Amino acid sequence: MTIRKVLMAVCLMTIGCVQMIAQNPIIRGIYSADPTARVFNGKVYLFPSHDIFPPEGQRQDWFCMEDYHVFSSEDLMDWTDHGVIVTQNKVPWVRPNSYSMWAPDCVEKSGKYYFYFPSAPGTGMGGFAVGVCVADRPEGPYVPEAEPIKGIGGIDPCVLQASDGNAYIFWGAGRCAKLNPNMKELAADNPKETMRWGNREVESVGVNCLQGLPSRQAEGPFAFEYNGNYYLTYPYVRQNTEVLAYAMSKSPMGPYEYKGLIMAEHENGCWTNHHSIINYKGQWYLFYHHNDYSPNDDKRRSVCVDSLFFNPDGTIQEVKPTLRGVGISNAHKPVQIDRYSAIGGGASIEYHDTLNYFQGWKTVFPAAGAWVQYNKVGLQQASKNMTVRLKSSKACTATLILSSNKAQVKLPSTNGQWQEVKVAVKSVKKGVYDLKIIADSQMEIDWVRFD
Residue 221 and residue 235: Cα distance in Å, rounded? 7
Residue 338 and residue 446: Cα distance in Å, rounded? 7
369 DSSP assignment = T
Q: What sections of 346-446 are H helices per DSSP?
A: none
Integer-rounded Cα radius of gyration of the chain:
24
Three-class DSSP category at 90: helix
List of E strands, 227-268: 229-237, 242-249, 257-263
Residue 220 and residue 236: Cα distance in Å, rounded? 9
CA 338 vs CA 52, 66, 145, 323: distances in Å: 26, 32, 45, 8
Contact assessment for residue 52 and residue 31, using Cβ atoms and an 8 Å cutoff: yes
Residue 219 known to be catalytic: yes
Name the β-bridge partners of 244: 235, 263
Q: What is the largest CA-CA distance in the chain?
A: 85
Say which of 105, 108, 156, 219 is annotated catalytic.
Answer: 219
Residue 407 and residue 425: Cα distance in Å, rounded? 7
**Beta-sheet pairing, 371-379 with 329-330:** parallel
**Beta-sheet pairing, 396-402 with 4-14:** parallel
Sign of CA dihedral 238, 311, 39, 247: negative
Contact assessment for residue 120 and residue 128, using Cβ atoms and an 8 Å cutoff: yes
Task: Tell me the catalytic residues.
Answer: 34, 219
